[in-house]
């Protein structure tokens, strides 16, 4: 009879554990709310109307002017922003967050001490929120922009902000909304919701990404405005969804949403040492 050591048993059980933990996460996200979802503030409707007005006004007043301005910028300036704009790709966020979630799913176990389970659950909720808040609006934008079919600046050799070919599903006609800008704003909102001290840095990052899309003539101004709305609004919806289920966030009595206190770095290191020592 072949003897199976404990390392072999653990390695064989690892895929099942990962699948089981991800299934539990999906169940937690899909469960009925445990708290009353936060009501949208009264100014939300006004903000939506103002944003839509700004997008439409930009199509008539800013898009062509901004594209012409960007076209005559110095080459070195455009090249610098071509490097900056790559940091608006969602992979910069989703790949490392996905690896972290995979690692948490691999080590989380009912057999772990209660403290370790609590720390891993708190981390899983936070990184799960970041992943969904960034991935969901990005996926939405990827589909919608190809259905809208708005031409990018200077497609066909001339600048026409009103050139559309809906449902064509070609990169040249996938201008509105901007995917990079959607990711940047969604990330700024999501990370700022968890760590308020990071908000200034994240908004500077988002502003640079939004500007870069116009500078390199990949999008019109109205494209990035629409993307900012989609990214920000979607991230807030995801935050409220998590808050209603008391995952990483909690709705306050005054209607606001605040992040739950996370595990301290000292406790995280303590749990990591225990898990590595098993």
pLDDT score for 8: 44
pLDDT at 72 > cutoff 60: yes
Residue 10 has pLDDT above 90, yes or no: no
Average pLDDT over residues 229-256: 92
Measured distance CA(138)–CA(230) in Å, rounded: 9
pLDDT by residue (tens digit) across 234-244?
A: 999 999 999 99
Q: What average pLDDT score do residues 47-73 get?
A: 95
Q: pLDDT tens-digit profile of 205-224?
A: 999 999 999 999 999 999 99
Does residue 41 carry a pLDDT above 80?
A: no
Residue 230 pLDDT class (50, 70, 90 cuts):
very high
Looking up tokens 């908000």 gives 199
Q: For 32-41, 62-71, 176-185, 236-245, which range has the lowest pLDDT when averaged over its residues?
A: 32-41
| Confidence at residue 274, expressed as pLDDT on a 0 to 100 scale | 78
Pick from 74-83, 113-122, 267-276: least confident = 267-276
Looking at residue 4, what is its pLDDT? 42
Q: Do residues 243 and 38 make contact, with C-beta atoms less than 8 angstroms apart?
A: yes
pLDDT at residue number 103: 94
Q: Inform me whether the pLDDT recorded for 12 exceeds 80.
A: no
Domains of the chain, first to last: 42-277 (1.20.144)
d(CA 162, CA 148): 12
Q: Would residue 92 be called left, alpha or beta, if left means φ above 0 and alpha means ψ between -120 and 50 degrees?
A: alpha
Rounded to two decimals, the pTM is 0.91
Give the pLDDT score at 7: 47
pLDDT value for 74: 97
Q: What percent of the chain has pLDDT over 90?
A: 72
State the DSSP string of 149-185: TBPPTTGGGS--TT-B-TT---GGG--SS-HHHHHHH
- Mean pLDDT score of the chain, rounded to an integer? 90
Q: How confident is the model at residue 9 (pLDDT cuts 50, 70, 90)?
A: very low
pLDDT, average across residues 58-83: 96
The reported pLDDT for the residue numbered 278 is 53
C-alpha to C-alpha distance for 214 and 63, rounded to whole angstroms? 9
| Residue 230 CB-density burial (10 A; 0-12 exposed, 13-18 middle, 19+ buried) | buried
Residue 13 CA to residue 73 CA, distance in Å, equals: 58
Question: What's the mean pLDDT in 100-129?
Answer: 91
């Amino acid at each position: 009879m072949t003897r199976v050591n404990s390392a072999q048993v653990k390695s064989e059980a690892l895929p099942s554990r990962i699948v089981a933990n991800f299934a539990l996460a999906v169940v937690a996200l899909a469960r009925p709310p445990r708290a009353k979802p936060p009501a949208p503030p009264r100014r939300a409707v006004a903000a939506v109307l103002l944003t839509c007005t700004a997008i439409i006004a930009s199509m008539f007043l800013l898009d062509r002017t901004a594209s012409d301005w960007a076209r005559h910028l110095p080459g070195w300036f455009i090249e610098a922003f071509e490097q900056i704009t790559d940091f608006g790709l969602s992979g910069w966020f989703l790949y490392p967050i996905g690896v972290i979630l995979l690692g948490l799913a691999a080590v989380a176990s009912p057999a772990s001490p209660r403290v370790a389970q609590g720390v891993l659950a708190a981390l899983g909720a936070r990184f799960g929120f970041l992943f969904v808040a960034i991935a969901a609006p990005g996926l939405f934008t990827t589909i919608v922009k190809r259905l809208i079919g708005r031409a990018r600046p200077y497609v066909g050799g001339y600048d026409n902000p009103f050139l559309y070919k809906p449902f064509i599903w070609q990169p040249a006609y996938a201008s509105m909304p901007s995917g990079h800008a959607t990711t940047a704003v969604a990330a700024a909102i999501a990370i700022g919701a968890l760590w308020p001290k990071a908000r200034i840095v994240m908004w500077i990052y988002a502003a640079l990404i939004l500007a870069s899309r116009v500078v390199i003539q990949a999008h019109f101004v109205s494209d990035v405005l629409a993307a900012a709305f989609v990214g920000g609004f979607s991230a807030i919806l995801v935050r409220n969804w998590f808050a209603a289920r008391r995952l990483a966030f909690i709705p306050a009595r005054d209607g606001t949403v605040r992040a739950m206190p996370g595990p301290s770095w000292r406790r995280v290191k303590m749990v990591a040492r225990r898990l590595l020592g098993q």
